[in-house]
Structure 1
């Protein structure tokens, strides 16, 4: 039961967690979701709904300082749509620092020019889904040849 004046489920409380308890990185990601660029929107329309069983998140916070345009947790894949803002003063250095940080966390980082998304958003989405759904290292078939000498063996 919700008691009157507690703020839960009412306009005064908003029904959510208090703003002071939400990490700044999450607030920033929420803001970015509301302000997505047109190429990001086009790509999100094709990536949402788990195409080929691959789930993506948009404007996903990674660490305290960064958010990636799209993220696939199962593939540990971060996708960045690079538009004109990425050529602005200071942006290339920021992007490089972010990429180093993301890779240090074990993520694969892929950059897609916004112009490619605008040219053919479907093809861009298909390429991203294919990358996320195809692991780089395959387990050898049980009846196949043994691994070559020097290759990791499990």
Structure 2
């Protein structure tokens, strides 16, 4: 079931910029989840409400966030943002950069488990 979640139109340009300048961790994960390689389609840097999530699957309402060191100082803001999106039915998975680089198989297993749970 696809959920249409409104977003601020001005975020579209910012999302395009973020797609062109993905972090190394985002690129590493994108390489593994693109082209429906896990059975569902993910999109990069997707505007939802007043935010942009790193990866989003409309089909199951799953957002994946890759948290670099910048997120260490904005835990509260991330929690508020995630809570607002969860109120709209979005499910979240969060991984640290280090997990993507050092434990990619575990990250993919967690994503696959969440996909199966959501289908």
Provide the TM-score with structure 2 as the length reference.
0.85
Q: Does 1:80 align with 2:65?
A: yes
1:79, distance to aligned residue in structure 2 (A): 0.7
CA RMSD of superposed structures (Å)? 1.8
More helix, by proportion: 2
Structure 2 CA distance for partners of 1:59 and 1:136, relative to 1, 3 Å: closer
Q: Which has the larger radius of gyration?
A: 1
Higher relative contact order (CA 8 A, sep 6+): 2
C-alpha contact 1:42 1:117 (8 A) present in aligned 2: yes
Residue segments in structure 2 that go unaligned for 5+ positions in a row? 1-7
SS of 1:52's equivalent?
coil
Gaps of 5+ in 1: 1-21, 138-154
Q: Which runs of 4+ in 1 moved over 6 A?
A: none
Equivalent residues, number: 112
Give the 3 Å change call, closer, same or farther, for CA 48–136 of structure 1 in structure 2: closer
Cα deviation code 1:73-114 (max 9, x no counterpart): 1111111111101012xx112101111111011111111111
Q: Does 1:101 align with 2:84?
A: yes
* Higher strand proportion: 2
